């Protein structure tokens, strides 16, 4: 069943945009806007929803690019969905509210439970504070501001702040073989 999905949130998984034919393409140019208006969106793009929430496609690059240029939602059908229906509903709602993949899952982890999906309020709060990472916003709410050393060293979840906000995932020391 086809439904409309924001074209700007679609990701090419085939790498076609790195092809030399797309290199000179300027999506902000007037020539490209005129071209985009001529593209038909009657056939939906088949997409795959990956376990990390990324919505990707491998065919339909012209339709996807035209939709991005025009800033519209275009028809898609889900070919394969790796998310549970509850998690997918939350992720889809965020996409439809203008959240990007990076807003939804900055670390690129597989989204197995609804608790791993941020609320729309958490994403908005992250944007207001200048943080594009909702997990940092949750960290600030729970623990206060990080040490100046961490801020100076580009405070991101990848350098340890996320571990402090995940009480349910304790750090387990690895034993070295003798």
Assigned domain for 174 exists: no
The stretch 154-165 carries a mean pLDDT of 40
Query: Which residues does residue 56 pair with via DSSP β-bridges, in sequence order?
Result: 11, 48
Assigned domain for 24 exists: yes
The stretch 27-41 carries a mean pLDDT of 85
Whether 95 and 44 map to the same domain: the answer is yes
Handedness of CA 161, 165, 166, 172 (dihedral sign): positive
8 pLDDT band, cuts 50/70/90, is very high
Whether 84 and 124 map to the same domain: the answer is no
123 pLDDT band, cuts 50/70/90, is confident
The stretch 127-144 carries a mean pLDDT of 56
Assigned domain for 178 exists: no
Whether 42 and 90 map to the same domain: the answer is yes
Please give the pLDDT value at position 116. 87
Structural domains of the chain, count: 2
| CB proximity list for 88: less than 8 A, separation 6 or greater | 49, 81
Assigned domain for 175 exists: no
Residue with tokens 């439904």: 3
Mark out the alpha helices in the chain (DSSP H runs): 20-23, 30-36, 61-70, 85-96, 101-104, 120-128, 134-143, 148-152, 161-164
- The mean predicted confidence, pLDDT, of the chain is 76
Q: Note the pLDDT tens digit of each residue in 57-114.
A: 988 988 999 999 999 999 999 999 999 999 999 999 999 999 988 888 888 889 999 8
Please give the pLDDT value at position 139. 54
Whether 24 and 100 map to the same domain: the answer is yes
CB count, 10 Å around CB of 56?
14
Q: Note the pLDDT tens digit of each residue in 39-60.
A: 999 999 999 999 999 999 988 9
Boundaries of domain holding 10: 3-106
**Strand order, beta sheet including 55-57:** 3-6, 73-81, 45-49, 55-57, 11-12
**pTM value surpassing 0.85:** no
Residue 153 has pLDDT above 50, yes or no: no
Please give the pLDDT value at position 70. 93
What's 86's domain CATH number?
3.90.1530
Closest CA to 51 of 120, 4, 104: 104
């Amino acid at each position: 069943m086809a439904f409309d999905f924001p074209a700007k949130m679609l990701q090419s998984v085939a790498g076609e945009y790195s092809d030399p034919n797309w290199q000179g393409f300027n999506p902000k140019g007037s020539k490209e806007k005129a071209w985009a208006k001529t593209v038909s969106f009657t056939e939906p793009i088949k997409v795959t929803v990956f376990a990390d929430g990324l919505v990707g496609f491998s065919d339909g690059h012209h339709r996807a690019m035209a939709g991005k240029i025009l800033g519209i939602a275009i028809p898609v059908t889900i070919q394969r969905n790796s998310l549970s229906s509850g998690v997918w509903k939350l992720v889809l709602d965020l996409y439809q509210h203008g959240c990007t993949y990076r807003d939804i899952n900055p670390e690129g982890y597989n989204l197995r439970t609804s608790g791993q999906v941020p609320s729309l309020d958490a994403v908005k709060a992250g944007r207001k504070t200048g943080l594009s990472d909702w997990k940092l916003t949750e960290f600030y709410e729970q623990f206060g501001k990080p040490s100046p050393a961490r801020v100076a060293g580009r405070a991101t979840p990848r350098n340890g702040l996320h571990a402090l906000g995940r009480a349910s995932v304790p750090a387990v020391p690895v034993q070295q073989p003798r």
